[in-house]
Amino acid sequence: MNQVITLLAAVLAGAAPLVIASMGATLSERAGVVNLSLDGTILLGAMAGFGVALSTGNLALGFGMAALVGALVALVLAYLSLTLGQSQTAVGFVLALLCTELSSFLGAPFVRVSGPAVPFAPIPLLAEIPLLGPLLFRHDAVIYASMLLVPLSWWFLFRTRAGLTIRALGERPQAAYARGVPVVPLRYLATIAGGALVGLAGAAYSLDLKQGWSYRHTFGAGWIALAIVIFGGWRPWRVALGCYLFAALEILALRSQSALPGAPTQVFQVAPFALMIVVLALVNLAGSPALARRIAALPPPLREPLRRLVARIAAPPPAALGQPFERP
Amino acid sequence: MEVAVHTLTKHFGPVRANDGLTVRFAEGQIHGVLGENGAGKSTLMKLISGYLRPDGGTLTLGGRAVTLQNPGDALKAGVGMVHQEPLDLPAFSALENLLCAAPRWALPTMAEARNTLRLLAGRLGFTVEPDALVAEMTVGQRQQLEIIRLLACGARVLILDEPTTGITAAQARALFTALRKLAAEGNTVLFVSHKLDEVADLCDTVSVLRAGRLVGEQMALPQPQARLLELMFGAGMGGWGSEAEGLARENGALRESAGGQPGAQAAWRLERVTARERNLTLRDLSLTIPAGRIVGLAGLDGSGQQILLRLLAGRARPEAGRVIVRGTDLTGAPSRAFRSAGVEYLPADRLAEGMVGPLSLADHFALLQAGALVDRGAAERAARAAIEGYGIKATPVTPMSALSGGNQQRAMLALVPERCGGLVCEHPTRGLDVASARAIWRRLLQRRAEGCAVVFASADLDELLEYSDEVLVFFAGQVSPPLARASLSTGRLAELIGGVGFDGAAQRG
């Protein structure tokens, strides 16, 4: 039992940066802006956060710097796509490449230097609760924050007026405009706030879960976060579930390495990504018209429950995702 | 609140959509705004509701000059607009739509919003469920929701742009009742339409726009129809009445020329077909549509016409029974097979299903070419011939999406191959003005004279009675036997569509 709890706790901890990044991506995509630069932004945030924390000895400054870097990258994306009307996909992709190389170039002095790290901080009393204590309350501040971020994102997007307006931007900006919403400024805001979270995710790696800095330290995390947001149907709880699933796959792959000594290590590094693609494909199948047709052809007693099940699983993207808005 | 505009002007590129309009809409009345497609009605309304910003001129609301930066400003000033395609959020529930970006003072809490929705719906006789998804609501309900939203947010001037397009007759009646009530309470209603009878039925005054200018201002109703038509389409047409008669004669001549050639193979034969779409089922339908015949499908939207159209075009598969096209059994065959059997489909949503918006007419002809390489020259020649022959206002390289509705429809018709055995048209003249609609029908009648069977669905009773040889009436998934045009009157057809005496008609056949 204890082993299972330890394993689950490791999953909750290991997924923290992914959760933070994918909540950021969810926020900006809910507003209709795809930030493809995620992977580069996480790298740049990790590097800048570590660099600042190392040279100032102040962790908070490190995280602040990471958030600022993330926000700046998002601002560039927002300016190029929202103001200058360039393709979000193209700009985001190029920014991802740029930030990756920039992190390698600027981060050269910090490679394999040991630096400050977020301290372990079990919560008094709560940490002593059997089972729940070791699972939820024996972590550090970053992990607590990641766990709080999920309900917070959900509450913001689905229970506040501001969240409703943000979602309207992603569904149909013309309708939001007709209601007097300043579409472009609010899209800027959502993109920048989302970008700051993505930057923070970088620091969560370099100052906490994968301490230090090296060449392409977190390579791949951003791309998987983008995929997880799709898996999660742009809904915070499901997105978080995707992050934890991926973290679990990673840990499982790591553990099975010792069980299968003959297999090359690359297999275990790549396996979580491949498995994630399979899961993603299966989930997105639920929303496909082909499946809907198959179900419609089934006999009635099967049809209704299946249709309802599929409708629950299917998670359509925001209708205006990635679409530019021009004032009429 | 009184609405007045003075020398209001709006350009789109070189086009003067509104050219120095000056008009005053008095408080507490329903004002009709008439005009053919592209006359500038929608533009004027979007200017008054802040959706567009004018290039010149002033807007006065309740005696105060205002400058509206966006629709939010307009709503604050008390002006709300229901767009032709309601600008709502399909993925949201009705309640979320109501709350989205609504001012806090109007709807402070979720519970308050739910209450307001129920209250206003009840008062206006609307049927909107707070938790229903907008995507699953009818256009009529979405309109009702928008009206409720605007009123809840404090609108005292309500603008409706072509509100009766795409809604059922019952919904239109409910809408008219609600609008009269709102006007009686002191609100101002601006009702944009190109349907004369609706305006005559509902409005207190009527203004007519033509080519961005006001040609008839605040005329008290009733007005003679001929006068309004003349204002809408210009006196240069030499009197609408004689034109209409000429057309009728022409149609008559075309009709006599063909008339279901005996011995010719049936264009379609359905044998005991059952087909389903969403929660509507056509059951056990047997039907023969002979070549050279025009069959009109009447009924409220979503009564089953759609299913039959899609069956005939091979876009839907029957669950039981056989579909035979010109002697070949094509049950369950892909739509490709239907096309090679000579069946063409003209969908109502031209840009979504009918054509590729960014491609030009020449490109579309190129798409029809066989072989691996595109013969640009041939495609452009074909496009030029089509433009000439069908009177399309475009060049061979204009993108389809830049054409007006009437020109798009003509272009689609031009793309139908010469040798075509069956044409399936879904609302062929919806949204078109009278002249464009007439041009489309001249073409369809010509096809019919060449032996092509035409099946069309329409919501316009006059169109159904004018052009059909036979009419099939649909009511909640039931289909009447083919009714000869001569046996029907407008009143009788309207009754059948509403389900009155439907069973009798079904049994007689």
User: For residue B348, is it within any domain?
Assistant: no
Minimal Cα distance from B43: which residue of A? A328
Contacts of A318 in chain B (CB under 8 A): 91
- Total domains in the fold of chain B: 3
Of the candidates A222, A166, A192, the residue with the CA atom closest to the CA atom of residue A78: A192
Domain A2-313 has CATH 1.10.3470: yes
Residue B104 forms contact with A (CB below 8 Å): yes
Evaluate if residue A165 carries a pLDDT over 90: yes
User: For residue B349, is it within any domain?
Assistant: no
- For B318-468, strand residue ranges (E) read 320-325, 328-329, 343-346, 422-426, 453-457
- The DSSP code for A130 is T
CB nearest to A164's CB, from B71, B75, B100: B100
Evaluate if residue A306 carries a pLDDT over 70: yes
Q: Give every CB contact of residue A237 below 8 A, 6+ residues apart in sequence.
A: A150, A154
Q: Quick: pLDDT tens for A103-136.
A: 999 999 999 998 899 999 899 988 888 888 888 9
A178–B87 CB contact, under 8 Å: yes
> In terms of domains, do B210 and B96 share one?
yes
Contacts of A176 in chain B (CB under 8 A): 100-101
Two tokens, residue B462:
């006059």
Domain with B452 in it: 246-342+419-508
Domain spans of chain A, in order of start: 2-313
Shortest distance, CA B502 to any CA of chain A (angstroms): 29
CA A264 to centroid of chain Cα atoms:
29
Among B416, B444, B463, residue at a domain's last position = B416
Q: Give every CB contact of residue A298 below 8 A, 6+ residues apart in sequence.
A: A306
CB nearest to A175's CB, from B75, B88, B319: B88
Neighbour-count burial of A269, counting CB atoms closer than 10 A to its CB (0-12 exposed, 13-18 middle, 19+ buried): middle
Shortest distance, CA B70 to any CA of chain A (angstroms): 6
Give the pLDDT band of residue A271 (cuts 50, 70, 90): confident
Q: Give every CB contact of residue A203 below 8 A, 6+ residues apart in sequence.
A: A45, A46, A48, A49, A50, A53, A62, A63, A65, A66, A67
Answer for the pair B287, B295: CB distance below 8 angstroms, yes or no: no
CA distances from B509 to B306, B479, B484, B502 (A): 22, 11, 11, 11
Amino acid identity of residue B397, one-letter, is V
Q: Taking the CA atoms of chain B, what radius of gyration do you get in angstroms?
A: 24
Residue B27 forms contact with A (CB below 8 Å): no
Beta pairing, strands B422-426 & B453-457: parallel
Q: Give the angle subtended at the CA of A304 by the CAs of A299 and A310, to the nearest 5°.
A: 115
Q: Quick: pLDDT tens for B274-292.
A: 888 766 788 888 999 998 8
Average pLDDT, chain A: 90
Place of tokens 């669950």: B319
Per-residue b/e over B122-159, b at no fewer than 16 CB within 10 Å?
Answer: eebebebbbeeebeebebbbbbbbbbbbbbbbbbbbbb
- Which pLDDT belongs to residue B243? 42
Of the candidates B59, B28, B24, B41, the residue with the CA atom closest to the CA atom of residue B158: B28
A178–B51 CB contact, under 8 Å: yes
Give the pLDDT band of residue A73 (cuts 50, 70, 90): very high
More confident residue, B377 or A293: B377
Shortest distance, CA A155 to any CA of chain B (angstroms): 14
- Which pLDDT belongs to residue B353? 81
- Which pLDDT belongs to residue B508? 42
> In terms of domains, do B89 and B28 share one?
yes
> In terms of domains, do B83 and B97 share one?
yes
Answer for the pair B336, B415: CB distance below 8 angstroms, yes or no: no
Among B368, B396, B416, residue at a domain's last position = B416
User: For residue B102, is it within any domain?
Assistant: yes
More confident residue, A289 or B199: B199
Percent over 90 (pLDDT), chain B: 33
- Which pLDDT belongs to residue B265? 75
More confident residue, A270 or A39: A39
Instruction: For the sheet with B79-82, list strands across it.
Output: B79-82, B157-161, B188-193, B30-34, B205-210, B213-220
Shortest distance, CA A29 to any CA of chain B (angstroms): 15
pLDDT tens across the length of chain B (509 residues): 899 999 999 988 777 889 999 999 999 999 999 887 678 888 999 999 999 999 999 999 998 999 999 999 999 999 999 998 889 999 999 999 999 989 888 888 889 999 999 999 999 989 889 999 998 888 888 999 999 999 999 999 999 998 887 777 788 889 999 999 999 999 999 999 877 778 888 999 999 998 888 888 888 878 887 788 778 776 544 333 334 444 455 555 554 444 444 456 788 999 999 888 766 788 888 999 998 899 999 887 777 888 899 999 988 888 888 999 888 888 888 888 888 888 989 888 777 788 888 888 899 999 888 888 888 999 999 999 988 888 888 888 888 888 877 788 888 888 888 778 899 998 888 877 777 788 889 888 988 888 899 999 988 888 888 899 999 998 878 888 888 888 888 778 877 876 666 765 554 43
Two tokens, residue A36:
């493809």
> In terms of domains, do B377 and B501 share one?
no
CATH classification of the domain holding B90: 3.40.50.300
User: For residue B359, is it within any domain?
Assistant: yes
Half-sphere exposure of B136 (CA within 13 A, CB side): 11
- Tell me the mean pLDDT in the region A178-207: 96
Two tokens, residue A57:
């000895």
CB nearest to A181's CB, from B46, B99, B101: B101
> In terms of domains, do B392 and B435 share one?
no
Answer for the pair B470, B485: CB distance below 8 angstroms, yes or no: yes
Sign for the CA dihedral angle at B304, B309, B312, B315 comes to negative
Per-residue b/e over B337-347, b at no fewer than 16 CB within 10 Å?
Answer: ebeebbbbbbb
Minimal Cα distance from A162: which residue of B? B101
Q: Give every CB contact of residue A283 below 8 A, 6+ residues apart in sequence.
A: A231, A233, A313, A315
User: For residue B347, is it within any domain?
Assistant: no
- Tell me the mean pLDDT in the region A303-312: 80
> In terms of domains, do B63 and B111 share one?
yes
> In terms of domains, do B325 and B284 share one?
yes
Residues of A with CB under 8 A from a CB of B: 161, 164-165, 167-168, 171-172, 174-182, 296-297, 316, 318-319, 328
> In terms of domains, do B407 and B278 share one?
no
- Which pLDDT belongs to residue B159? 96
Of the candidates B457, B441, B448, the residue with the CA atom closest to the CA atom of residue B390: B441
Q: Give every CB contact of residue A303 below 8 A, 6+ residues apart in sequence.
A: A295, A296
Contacts of A316 in chain B (CB under 8 A): 91
- Tell me the mean pLDDT in the region A239-265: 85
Q: Quick: pLDDT tens for B50-69.
A: 999 999 999 999 989 999 99
Alpha helices in A182-220 (DSSP H): 183-204
- Which pLDDT belongs to residue B328? 86
Pairwise CA distance, residues B157 & B190, whole Å: 8
> In terms of domains, do B429 and B295 share one?
yes
> In terms of domains, do B225 and B307 share one?
no
Contacts of B146 in chain A (CB under 8 A): none
B101–A176 CB contact, under 8 Å: yes
Beta pairing, strands B30-34 & B205-210: parallel
> In terms of domains, do B328 and B396 share one?
no
Contacts of B46 in chain A (CB under 8 A): 328
More confident residue, A301 or B183: B183
